[in-house]
Amino acid sequence: HSMTDNEHSISVYAVDINGVKGNEVSRKFRVSLEEPKGNVLVPTIDTSVHQLITISGDASDKNGIEKVQISLDNGNSYNDAIGTEKWSYTVDTRVIPGGTQVVFLKITDKYGIQGLYSSLINIDNEAPNMQLELPLDDSSTTGMLFFSGYAFDNVGLTELYVTIRNLEKSGQSEKRTINIDRIIGQSLDITNLPNGFYNVELTGKDKAGNSTNVSRNIHLEKNKAKAVVDILYPLNGETKQGIFNIYGSAESEFQIDNLKLYIDDKLADETQLTRTGYYKFELNPEKLTEGLHKYRVDSVLNNGTTVASREQTITYSPTGPWITIDNFTYGDFAINRPYLRGQAGYSISEDELLFSRTKEATKEMKEATAAKKVVKTEISFDNGKTFTQISKNEKWNYRIENQDIKEGYHFLLLRATMKNGETAITRTIIQIDNTSPTIKLISPANGGRYNQVLDVSGLSNDDIELDDVTVTLRKGDKASYEIPSFIQGIYLDFHFWGATLFDIGAGFTAFNDVVKVQVQWGQYTQGQRDAVSNMLGQTTTTLRYGGSSIFGIKILANVLDVPFSFFFGHDWEWLSASLAVGANFSLFNETSSGSSQVLSALIAQLEFPKIKIANMKVFSRFSFYTEGSIWFIPTDTDITSSLVEVKKVVPQIAVGIRVNIF
């Protein structure tokens, strides 16, 4: 510790007992007494940030700073910052989950000594959630304008105000503040304004600067740019190898014809915007050379205007580990448990691959080449804090259980690990939307009469975005298309054997499909009984109860449901089993007494397999069942004078099939 930082030299020589001095030998060495130091100065911990931000700070070391690196995925990857003692790093926070995230700062001095520091950033890219119930669109007021609704933000609202604009020639506008509260209930006196047609716009802003506007009549944003093009991934200054994708988003009040990718100011590729407002470019060694590149994306509008994104840099190597997502683009909706599919691998130079197969290659060289292969692929839903392994192969897939995930945007981090320990990372964002749109029909009024022209108007809304609105006219009263609300489904039923030779029935389910009520018709004549006895090689006997038209009613209640998805996951949602008990009452028109008779029975019904076909509205479910029944038969013979035992309780067994219409 008596020495200082930087480079030093030491000289050594020997002197013998006679005082003769030998040659002097000098060696240089470096001293670093402590790790390099650094701080994140902007943004501060007490501020919230959104969209594109610049993280900046300082670093110091007596031996000098070689480089500064930033990690925004909990240390899984590090990207180079600009500068050394004074450094900065620009990133679009929309590719990072919202909330408080850790920023890792890795500083390397000129002697290779590293210092690791951390800071926190508060990311809030979610605009405030607002809904305005009053005033209604196209409503009238005499001067007191009442606002009713709610406003909410996950961090907190900082501003809530109303802008009142005159939509006529005067173009006059006025701004009024609203009390910041989750429940909006406040009246504004606008009697000082001249008579006219106005647009009333409620605006809420949060701490990060995100804003939401809700308007009545028309919504007007004069300062909005013609188009906005953003590059979301890779992050600025990131290093990529092999095959990778460039993702981004674009939006405009005009139609976007196409998007063009420029690398080092040269056109590299073109693509189209997806329905969700995102784009993707696929890059590989054939399109990109090794080294540092700058790139941007231009949006070409249908009016001929071109709007460019910000320019980013990327360091590319044609060799190294890589991972791609092939079937999803940023912002795509995950619907009906889709598979997220992709590939991972290691791009090896042709020279290395050929040399590893020659006799000159050593065992270590061959092992090093062989170790450049995928051993596992993992996925993370928490920005790299934890990972779940999804594959051990180059081609991977992962099923997104969208019904188990809350609605909104979800940030996924994919990591491929090679046998030699190297990793490759990619990101994506998926959207979950399980909420149906809402529709309010204003006109025509119920029961109205119209001639030749029918004007239809109303309000429709969705928490994400509406795709289309369709008006359908059907002949007749709407009551003819309805069924009672307690009925969940209607089914057809056929069973063989039991108390009859066969039964054909129809029924409905109620109380969440727990209860079944069914009516049926069947047959069991003397001729049919004799034919069955002859077929089985048995002696024919006289029929006690039967008939050519046996009508019955059956009531069943489920006592046990066994969904196979409980044991084997969502892939088995199509299969289940159930056990039901109930009663059957049937009218037999042929009996040994010569008159019709109603008999009753207790029933136990095992329904398996129960099969459900997804994405079908009708005839989507069918099942097979085995039914055991105990029939109670009143005595129709004088037991005291009969030499034959007369059974009062008769067990029966039947098999059947049930098909649900809906």
Longest CA pairwise span in the chain (Å): 148
d(CA 153, CA 212): 10
pTM across the whole model: 0.64
Q: Is the pLDDT of residue 416 over 90?
A: yes
Q: Is the pLDDT of residue 356 over 80?
A: yes
User: Which segment of 122-131, 134-143, 444-453, 571-580 scores lowest on mean pLDDT?
Assistant: 134-143
Average pLDDT for 312-334: 92
Q: List strand residue ranges (DSSP E) for 13-113, in order.
A: 25-31, 37-42, 48-49, 52-60, 65-71, 79-80, 86-92, 99-109
Q: What is the pLDDT of residue 343?
A: 94
Of 544 and 620, the structure prediction assigns the larger pLDDT to 620
275: left (phi over 0), alpha (psi -120 to 50) or beta: alpha
Contact status, residue 437 vs residue 461, Cβ threshold 8 Å: yes
Residue-averaged pLDDT of the chain:
86
pLDDT digits 0-9 by tens, 21-35: 888 888 876 766 788
Contact status, residue 322 vs residue 416, Cβ threshold 8 Å: yes
Average pLDDT for 627-637: 81
Of 434 and 118, the structure prediction assigns the larger pLDDT to 118
Of 71 and 198, the structure prediction assigns the larger pLDDT to 71
Contact status, residue 278 vs residue 330, Cβ threshold 8 Å: yes
- Coarse DSSP helix, strand, coil percentages of the chain, rounded to the nearest 5 percent: 5, 55, 40
Q: Is the pLDDT of residue 182 over 80?
A: no
Q: What is the pLDDT of residue 219?
A: 44
pLDDT digits 0-9 by tens, 579-616: 999 999 999 988 877 788 899 999 999 999 999 988 88
Strands 332-333 and 423-432: parallel
Contact status, residue 342 vs residue 324, Cβ threshold 8 Å: yes
d(CA 331, CA 407): 13
111: left (phi over 0), alpha (psi -120 to 50) or beta: alpha
Average pLDDT for 242-253: 90
530: left (phi over 0), alpha (psi -120 to 50) or beta: alpha
220 band by pLDDT with thresholds 50, 70 and 90: very low
Contact status, residue 73 vs residue 413, Cβ threshold 8 Å: yes
Q: What is the pLDDT of residue 526?
A: 87
Give the bridge partners for 560, in sequence order: 579
Q: What is the pLDDT of residue 2?
A: 64
Average pLDDT for 101-130: 89
Task: Walk me through the domains of the chain, giving residue ranges and CATH numbers.
Answer: 1-116 (2.60.40.650), 129-216 (2.60.40.2550), 229-432 (2.60.40.10), 487-660 (2.40.160)
